[in-house]
């Protein structure tokens, strides 16, 4: 698959390298020079810094020594354990890191072609649904002839240090990488969707079923090529004591390098296990199932070799899942959502939409209204409509804002507090909401780069409203929506029907009417099992809207809204109840809402005139709510 790549600062790797080779000089990046400004914006260097190229630090530099591994990374004099942990995760998947380090064989030093070396490298990162190609020179900051920041176990291996430099360039400087979220870096490496799970909530849940589902989920994500990281952050009042962490570190990120069911001895019994790596390259778990613990005697030598149990202080260790969720407080699961229709695995339909929170003097054009705490302006935010076409569907939604690290030098590097709400709306909603509807789901509000929600939604139409927490905060965002079937997700841009010459001739809508069908009771039997498969049809002027089918019931709970922009209010609104049939659907009955009801509003119980109704039969009833308004922007 050919990637669509955008050049960072218009620097083209091949052209710059060719120019250097023609002039017999090594590349020096003018956009990220070998100066203190490329390292720090508020701190002072820890000592005398020298920028050196790899061949000045060893005799035979290479990008990789014996391939790429999570063991290649060690955190340097920078608080970016989150980034190093993400690199450790990346190193586990060949298909992923080869996108980040393109043409790695050609980029590597070649002792047979020394004249092809120009001191230039390039890496690619996924930002806002685009792959950004970042060019760097290979001058690296050192102190006392050692790399100052990320380094490999081998003095001749430099892929991790060069990757870190390219990421620092994208962020503005090395110091901008001080503190962060592992999930952000993994998303930048892969374009995956990051889901953060608060394990403290799982720990408070005493049902072991939920914990079992969590492990199975992690196992499935790992086996399908996803990346997982975790960390420990103690909340005020936490019962977890620092002194009892047995080697684990507070406010520190770990990469999950394996999720496994380990067989005990020659029995069928299996133990749920998690393997992790400390980005420091040292400092391991000292509790049960640590490197030298006696528990490993319960596992055969063959099984230990198979799963990779190494007894050495390399920062990598095993924990039982029971201990893992006891101590770990947060896990970030980064899934590569499968959108290929040629796959045997579950395939998702994906919609990517770019938007912005922006201010405007006209309230109808303002798009920075804040969250639901600010009801006067909330509905001024961008709005996106989508459909769930199955009876029930799992929907994945990711909202991501632009990275602010590059603005840290100006003191503007803090993320906005973002989140979103989901509302169930009329089946035929085409215009922006101007009043609050039933909220069926919503994310948390947090100042991270992205928020994620997994929700089970019934068939119908929904509106997503992404917002900042406070109004009048501006910024760009990327909204990603994943459903089992095509959702038709799109932005609602109009407040009401447009005024055109044609619709003036055909009568511009005079009134807007919302009809909500709640339920029907005691429908006549339609099949041999004594039930029916009813659905409703709304008719108004030339428009017709169908609800979902409710299987095998005589008392369907429709709970469905539709909205009509009516040109001729004297024409009735007709609601029909049909029975779904493989060969031919049959009409059960209908009710008619007439104009003579004088702009009906409120709940009503109407008699459903069933087809071929006998005089002795009692008509079925349906409960509906009708709201009518002359203000076209009222609903």
Helix then strand count (H, E) for the chain reads 11, 27
CA-nearest of 216, 215, 204 to 320 is 215
Catalytic residue among 74, 278, 381, 415, which?
278
List C-alpha distances in Å: 205 to 202, 212, 274, 455. Answer: 5, 12, 20, 20
- Is 252 known to be catalytic? yes
Catalytic residue among 71, 74, 252, 489, which?
252
- Is 278 known to be catalytic? yes
List C-alpha distances in Å: 556 to 612, 623, 628. Answer: 21, 11, 25
Reading the block at residue 8, the tokens are: 């960072």
CA angle 336, 339, 344 (to 5 degrees): 95
DSSP code string of 573-585: EEEEEEE--SS--
DSSP code string of 111-140: TT-GGG--SEEEEEEEETTEEEEEEEES-E
Phi, psi angles (nearest 5°) of residue 158: -130, 10
- Is 313 known to be catalytic? no
Catalytic residue among 71, 74, 81, 334, which?
81
Could you tell me which residues are beta bridge partners of residue 610? 589
Pairwise CA distance, residues 506 & 503, whole Å: 5
Contact by Cβ (8 Å): 479, 384: yes
User: Quick one: which H or E segment has residue 210?
Assistant: helix 208-223
Task: With H, G, I as helix, E, B as strand and everything else as coil, classify residue 110.
Answer: coil
CA angle 19, 23, 29 (to 5 degrees): 55
User: Where in the sequence numbering do the catalytic residues fall?
Assistant: 81, 252, 278
């Amino acid at each position: 698959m050919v990637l669509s790549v955008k050049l960072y600062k218009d620097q083209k790797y091949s052209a710059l390298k060719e120019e250097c080779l023609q002039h017999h000089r090594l590349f020096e990046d003018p956009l990220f020079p070998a100066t203190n400004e490329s390292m720090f914006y508020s701190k002072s260097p820890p000592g005398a810094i020298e920028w050196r190229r790899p061949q000045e630090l060893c005799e035979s530099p290479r990008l990789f020594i014996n391939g790429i591994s999570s063991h290649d990374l060690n955190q340097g004099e920078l608080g970016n354990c989150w980034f190093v942990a993400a690199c450790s995760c990346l190193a586990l998947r060949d298909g992923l890191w080869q996108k980040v380090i393109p043409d790695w064989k050609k980029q590597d030093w070649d002792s047979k072609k020394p004249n092809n070396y120009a001191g230039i490298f390039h890496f690619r990162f996924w930002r806002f649904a685009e792959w950004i190609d970042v060019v760097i020179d290979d001058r690296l900051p050192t102190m006392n002839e050692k790399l100052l920041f990320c380094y490999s176990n081998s003095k001749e291996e430099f892929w991790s240090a060069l990757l870190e430099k390219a990421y620092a360039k994208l962020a503005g400087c090395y110091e901008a990488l001080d503190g962060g979220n592992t999930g952000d870096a993994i998303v930048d490496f892969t374009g995956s969707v990051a889901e953060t799970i608060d394990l403290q909530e799982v720990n408070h849940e005493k049902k072991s079923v939920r914990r079992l589902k969590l492990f199975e989920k992690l196992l499935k994500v790992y086996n399908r090529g996803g990346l997982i990281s975790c960390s420990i952050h103690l909340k005020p009042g936490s019962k977890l004591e620092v002194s009892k962490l047995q080697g684990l570190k507070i406010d520190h990120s770990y990469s999950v390098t394996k999720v496994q069911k380990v067989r005990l001895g020659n029995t069928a019994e299996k133990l749920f296990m998690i393997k992790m790596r400390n980005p420091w390259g040292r400092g391991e778990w000292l509790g049960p199932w640590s490197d030298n613990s006696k528990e490993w005697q319960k596992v055969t030598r063959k099984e230990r070799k198979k799963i990779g149990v190494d007894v050495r202080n390399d920062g990598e260790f095993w924990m039982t899942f029971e201990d893992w969720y006891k101590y770990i407080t947060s896990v970030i699961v980064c899934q590569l959502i499968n959108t290929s229709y040629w796959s045997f695995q579950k395939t998702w339909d994906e919609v990517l939409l770019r938007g912005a929170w922006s201010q405007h003097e006209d309230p109808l054009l303002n798009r920075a209204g804040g969250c639901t705490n600010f009801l006067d302006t909330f509905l001024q935010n961008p709005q996106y409509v989508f459909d769930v076409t199955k009876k029930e569907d799992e929907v994945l939604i990711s909202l991501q804002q632009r990275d602010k690290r590059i603005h840290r030098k100006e003191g503007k590097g803090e993320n906005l507090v973002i989140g979103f709400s989901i509302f169930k709306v009329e089946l035929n909603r085409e215009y922006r909401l101007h009043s609050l509807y039933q909220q069926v789901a919503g994310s948390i509000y947090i100042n991270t780069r992205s928020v994620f929600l997994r929700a089970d939604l019934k068939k119908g139409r929904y509106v997503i409203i992404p917002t900042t927490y406070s109004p009048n905060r501006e910024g760009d965002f990327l909204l990603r929506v994943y459903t089992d079937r095509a959702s038709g997700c799109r932005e609602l841009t109009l407040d009401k029907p447009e005024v055109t010459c044609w619709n003036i001739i055909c009568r511009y809508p005079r009134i807007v009417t919302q009809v909500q069908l709640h339920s029907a009771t005691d429908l006549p039997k339609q099949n041999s099992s004594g039930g029916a498969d009813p659905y409703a049809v709304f008719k108004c002027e030339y428009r017709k809207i169908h609800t979902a089918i409710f299987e095998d019931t005589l008392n369907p709970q429709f709970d469905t809204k539709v909205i009509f922009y009516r040109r001729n209010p004297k024409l009735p609104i007709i609601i029909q109840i049909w029975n779904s049939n493989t060969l031919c659907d049959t009409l059960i009955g209908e009710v008619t809402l007439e104009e003579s009801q004088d702009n009906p509003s409120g709940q009503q119980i109407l008699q459903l005139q069933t087809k071929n109704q006998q005089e002795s039969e009692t008509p079925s009833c349906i409960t509906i709510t009708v709201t009518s308004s002359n203000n076209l922007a009222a609903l």
